[in-house]
Amino acid sequence: MPVEIPVEKWNGQVHQVKLGGAGGRKELVVGGENTLPFLKFEGNIPHRPAVAIEVVDQPPQGWAEPLVKAWGNVLQDPAAWAKKAAEYGADLISLRLRSAHPEEGNTGADHARKVVAAVLAAVDLPVIVLGPEVAQKDNEVLVAASEVGRGQRLGLGDCLDKNYRTIGATCLADGHVAIAKTPIDMNLAKQLNILLSDLGLPLDAILMDPTTGALGYGLEYTYSVMERLRITALMGDKMTSPPMICTAGEESWRQKESKATAGVPQSWGEQEQRAILWEKITAIGLLNAGANVIVLRHPRTVEDVKAAINKLSA
């Protein structure tokens, strides 16, 4: 008796979003699938998830030892760091303009222009530029970054409900993609997409960041919000159909499990292995929930996550 393989009939599909592909930059397309993550027996998945490596515009404060060890001197120089990231197999670079944070340097638009220009000159990969997560500073440095990268289809974020007009308009004017971030909530994610659409930004110029909870720190919330967003998109809701981006590296390396070198229970095991695995497992969980771009920190995570994506996409 042959078993009939059950296949869902989805009416919708994830929007295709292109990054780079102009101004000498390599093209990267994510999204476009009309089925759940990696279910090739059911639908068409034209593009596999992409792996971004996070680069920070100044030597990062308080990064865990395994990260510092892995990257070494390039932590001092974002352009060299981005180059190294490309060698480690990044599909794109996620550049965080941390130095613009009022507490961590309070640099302004001029500095942002220089750093973004240096990174763009150093690699031909697509680049995402993220602000320091302080609304007014975000606007200042992201608008500057937008001008420098005009026509090169960067990603710009975070685009939040409180600054979506500025970031959305900049993306529209300079031809970039907005990283629309909302706090682990399906309706807020949809709402922000609607607001950006009303502004005139097309859905193929949006990546949704549903806010990443690391393993042990809210992963299950992100996981389920992503599954719900994806299922809703596949059922035909255009306003939940942009691809999703997850900052797995940043979130998992913030946690005690990744940072603590001493004074933790023996049952936590050896730090370096535990910390890297914390990032890897956060990543594999989110990829299975529908992440189209996963932003990572440790080179060994990049290697293993890329291998897993290849196997899942084969």
Partner 1 sequence: MALTGIEIYKFLPKTNCKKCGFPTCLAFAMKVAQKTVNITTCPDLSAESRAALEAAGRPPIQLVTLGSDSKKLEVGNETVMFRHEKTFFHPPGLVLRVKDNAPADSLQQQVQAAAEYKVERVGRFLTMDGFAVENTSKDAATFAKAVEAVKSKSDLPLVLISQDPAAMEAALAKATPGRPLIYAANKDNWEKMADLAVKNKCPLAVSSNGALDDLTALVDQVSKKGIEEIVLDPGARDFGPSLSTLTQIRRLALKKNFRPLGYPVITFPGEAAASLDTEAMLAAQQVAKYAGIIVLDHFSPALVYPLLTMRLNIYTDPQKPIQVTPQIVQIGTPKATSPVCITTNFSLTYFAIAGELEAAGWAAWLVVCDTEGLSVLTAWAAGKFDAEKIAKSVKNFKIADNVSHRNVVIPGHVAVLRGELEEELPDWKILVGPREAVDVGGFLKQNWKN
Q: 15 vs 48, which CB is nearer to partner 1?
A: 48
Does 76 engage in binding with partner 1 (CB under 8 A)?
A: no
Given 201, 215, 246, 296, the residue binding partner 1 (CB under 8 A): 215
Q: Are 279 and 306 in contact (CB under 8 A)?
A: no
Do the Cβ atoms of 118 and 90 come closer than 8 Å?
no
What is the separation of C-alpha 180 from the centre of its chain, rounded to a whole number of angstroms?
11
106: left (phi over 0), alpha (psi -120 to 50) or beta: left
Question: Is residue 313 at the binding interface for partner 1, with CB under 8 A as the rule?
Answer: yes
255 binds partner 1 (CB under 8 A): yes
Bond from prior residue into 110 cis (ω within 30 degrees of 0) = no
Residues with Cβ within 8 Å of residue 239, at least 6 apart in sequence = 190, 193, 194, 197, 203
Site string for partner 1, 182-201 (x = CB under 8 A): --x-----------------
Cα 304 to Cα 27: distance, rounded to the nearest angstrom:
23
How big is the chain, counted in residues?
314
Q: Is residue 307 close enough to count as binding partner 1 by CB under 8 A?
A: yes
CB of 220 to partner 1, least distance (A): 4
Q: Applying CB under 8 A, which part among 110-118, 138-146, 194-202, 270-278 lies near partner 1?
A: 270-278
Q: Is 62 in the site for partner 1 (CB under 8 A)?
A: yes
With both helix axes pointing from N to C terminus, report the angle between 219-234 and 186-199 in degrees, rounded to the nearest 10. 50
Segment interacting with partner 1 (CB under 8 A) among 24-32, 65-73, 170-178, 253-261: 253-261
**Least separation, in Å, of the C-beta of 47 and partner 1?**
16
**What are the φ/ψ torsions at residue 179 (nearest 5 degrees)?**
-95, 100
Please tell me what DSSP assigns to residue 238.
G
Tell me which residues touch partner 1 (CB under 8 A): 1-6, 36, 38-41, 62, 101-103, 133-134, 184, 213, 215-221, 223-224, 227-228, 231, 254-257, 259, 265-271, 273-274, 276-278, 280-281, 284-285, 288-289, 300, 304-305, 307-308, 311-314
